[in-house]
Amino acid sequence: MKLAIGADHGGFTLKETVKAHLIERGFEVEDCGTFDEKSVNYAPIAKKVADKIVGGECERGILICGTGIGMSMAANKVKGIRAAHCGDCFCAKYTRLHNDANILCMGARITGAGLALEIVDLFVDTEFEGGRHIARIAEIADIENGKL
């Protein structure tokens, strides 16, 4: 699976940890920045990662900022993105099973590296359950398309 990853200055250090972990696990990781701790705005980085997903270049994405909130707000503006802000393992598992989330957002000022890596593993290892959830996520797309 090819993954896209991005962070602002608040998430830079955790991004590096997550990226190294994913590469170690054998994933191909496209790093959309930022590449140091200099202050940068989060929305353009969220857009870069989101575009890799909707464009089909990467299957899933991970976005990290201070809280994870700005990244999730920005990513969810892109049509076709279902970005889930997760700070625990239960949400990471169920947002894949039930929501088919294609981007995971985390807050580096909230979630420590140990927990973040467990969240990331659940996000990349858990497959969408389908079934009754297909119609439910289709209604999210209906909102995007003005049908709901």
Residues of the shown chain interacting with ligand RB5 in the complex, contacts defined by CB under 6 A: 8, 10, 42, 65-67, 69-70
Q: Whole-number minimum distance, CB 24 to ligand RB5, in Å? A: 26
Task: Kindly report the length of the chain.
Answer: 148
Which of 58, 65, 86, 105 is an active site residue?
Answer: 65
Q: In terms of CB distance, is 44 or 66 closer to ligand RB5?
A: 66
Least separation in angstroms between residue 133's CB and ligand RB5 is 28
- Please confirm, yes or no, whether 9 is among the known catalytic residues: no
**Tokens representing residue 124 in the block:** 């990349």
The amino acid that residue 134 corresponds to is: I
Task: State the minimum distance, in angstroms, from the CB of residue 66 to ligand RB5.
Answer: 3
Q: For this structure, is 89 an active site residue?
A: no
Closest CA to 100 of 142, 133, 71: 133
The answer to whether the beta carbons of residues 62 and 103 sit under 8 Å apart is yes
Q: What share of the chain is helix, strand, coil (3-state, %, to 5)?
A: 45, 15, 40
Q: Which residues are catalytic, by number? A: 65, 98
